[in-house]
Amino acid sequence: MLQKNPAFAGVPGPVVVIVMDGYGIPKHTVGSAIDAARKPTLDRLFAQYPNITLRAHGTAVGMPSDDDMGNSEVGHNAIGAGQVYAQGAALVADAIAAGTIWQGAAWQETVAAAKAGNGGVLHFIGLFSDGNVHSHIDHLKAMVAQARAEGVKTVRIHALLDGRDVPETSALDYVVPFEAFLDEISADGFDARIASGGGRQTITMDRYDANWPMVARGWRTHVLGEGPQFANATEAVQGLRERNPGTIDQDLPEFVIADGGKPIGTIEDGDAVVFYNFRGDRAIEITRAFVEDDFSEFDRVRRPRVTYAGMLQYDGDLHLPERFLVTPPAIRNTSGEWFSKTGLAQFACSETQKFGHVTYFWNGNRSGKFEGETWQEVPSDVVPFEQRPWMKAAEITDAMIAALQSGRYKVLRCNYANGDMVGHTGNFRAATMAIEAVDLALSRLLRAVDAAGGVALVTADHGNADEMFELDKKTKEPAVNEDGSYKAKTAHTLNPVPLILYDNVSGGRLGLEQTGTAGLSNIAATVANLLGLQKHERWDDSLLVVK
């Protein structure tokens, strides 16, 4: 149990943590959909309630460097755990640098499988960029080189085009040099090529069971070799862009590389497959398709018997997958666990697209609930979100209000996906509406917090809608196209996020301290203090000030 806090007995009602996904504090108003949005509630919160900024990127959330933007995985891990762990991006980079990854049983079994028999193939499937959110292309490069050094003869890569964690039409910046690299090392009996691929929002990388047909399309592309054929990936990207003018990389259709009409990299019995994303949410469904005997999410048509490895283990509870190259961070003593041990009932809610963020990521990449937790998922629309920028903000609010009115919960949390999911489309106008939808939702939710005698911490996991135009690498000012228009940006930002204390119950006794290091990992202890509890010894400090 967490101990009582002698300095503060806690607020009378519940404590609600509201994550406005993708809501950063920008340096420029140009390109900020947040500044462009009409948001009377948020304006009032910033003007009238204690608020500070939190670091939400780089080393503050366990990324390798402060040049790495934040993302929802590391952000929700830090908020939920109250601690910062070296995250997948850092762990994999370190394991490669130290060479320990090659000594692990998983890598050795994978290589052995690809070398056994006649003409075994080593396949790599994953996100093909240096975004460092789900994967890093340098990890792929190191593995291909190592496979060659260890005597693997044939490597096939299934490249998921990004344009979401990196500039929206940057695919060729990765594909062209990588195909050149593969060409160069394909000598002396070694043969490595990109064999299939497609936009990450079109195939393979669905999450939280939102859109299984996407994964089915990926399976048909990578495993069965079905799809429009091209001679190489460079021509595929060029050809698909010609056929689909205006389509950004993440939304490009699938492609298959073929020689004389025959796909060069279907996945067959005896092959080895490495899914090289380190982040789990968008890796779980395709992993299940490879490893599950009883699988009914779609018709696999043919299920090759392969040696399958994930870059990390994506779900510790489900042991998914069983074989993984690098051990994931062992996130322990999360706030969900300790509030549960203290006997507090907890409620978590979001829509499908972010549901696992407030449950699985929040609880340290565990799919199971702690005792006393209730989770509610609002099904997301399956549409491009610029077409529905309000998403399910109203329905999440309904669920949160009902949970507050039930009087059953002492700690509640929710995630409004809008700023992030619409921010990722690069559509500025839709992103302003996304923020307006969140603002409207907050106005309703906060009234229910008041009625319950509670307080709310309003925050975000990382920026996105705050910077809808690419910044020039040198000047750090919004970059312009040749025609003078701004370059749309789909990725997250490096900006800090707000932490607002919405408190109408303490009579002004409570405030927040802006420390030099304040970051997302300070939220858990702040929640504990608001509940009248001391933080767990492993958590970073509370930012609550009691006057």
Measured in Å, how far apart are the chain's first and last C-alpha atoms? Answer: 26
Q: Return the one option of Co ion, ligand 3PG, none that residue 282 interacts with (CB less than 5 to 8 A, by type).
A: ligand 3PG
The rounded distance, in Å, linking the Cα atoms of 207 and 472 is 32
Question: Is position 164 an interface residue for ligand 3PG (rule: CB under 6 A)?
Answer: yes
Q: Which is nearer to ligand 3PG, 71 or 521 (CB)?
A: 71
Contact (CB, 8 A) for 166 and 424: no
- 367 annotated as a binding-site residue: no
Question: Is position 165 an interface residue for ligand 3PG (rule: CB under 6 A)?
Answer: yes
Nearest to 322 by CA among 383, 275, 371: 275
The rounded distance, in Å, linking the Cα atoms of 474 and 465 is 22
Question: Is position 133 an interface residue for ligand 3PG (rule: CB under 6 A)?
Answer: yes
Tokens 């079994």 correspond to what residue? 109
Only segment of 68-76, 301-309, 371-379, 404-412 that touches ligand 3PG (CB under 6 A): 68-76
Only segment of 46-54, 65-73, 370-378, 404-412 that touches ligand 3PG (CB under 6 A): 65-73
Question: Is position 254 an interface residue for ligand 3PG (rule: CB under 6 A)?
Answer: no
User: Catalytic residue at 406?
Assistant: no
Q: What is the DSSP string of 237-293?
A: HHHHHHHSTT--GGG---EEEEETTEES----TT-EEEE----STTTHHHHHHHH-S
| Shortest reach from residue 447's CB to Co ion, in Å | 29
| Residue 545: DSSP 8-state | E
- 472 annotated as a binding-site residue: no
Select the residue interacting with ligand 3PG from 139, 148, 282, 413 (CB under 6 A).
282
What tokens does 294 get? 């009883």
| Shortest reach from residue 21's CB to Co ion, in Å | 7
Contact (CB, 8 A) for 442 and 39: no
- 162 annotated as a binding-site residue: no
| Shortest reach from residue 200's CB to ligand 3PG, in Å | 8
Nearest to 154 by CA among 273, 239, 250: 273
Only segment of 32-40, 69-77, 305-313, 379-387 that touches ligand 3PG (CB under 6 A): 69-77
Element (H, E) at 351: strand 346-351
Task: Report, in angstroms and rounded to the nearest whole number, the Rg of the chain calculated over CA atoms.
Answer: 23
What tokens does 493 get? 């930002």
Q: Which residue's C-beta sits nearest to ligand 3PG?
A: 72
E strand segments, 302-398:
307-310, 346-351, 373-378
- 368 annotated as a binding-site residue: no
Site residues (CB under 6 A) for ligand 3PG, limited to 407-426: 420, 424
Residues that bind Co ion (CB under 5 A): 420
Which of the residues 32, 72, 135, 542 is marked catalytic? Answer: 72
Active site residues: 72
State the binding site.
21, 72, 134, 164-165, 200, 207, 279-282, 354, 420, 424, 461-462, 492
Where along the sequence are the contacts to ligand 3PG (CB under 6 A)?
Answer: 71-73, 133-134, 164-165, 282, 420, 424
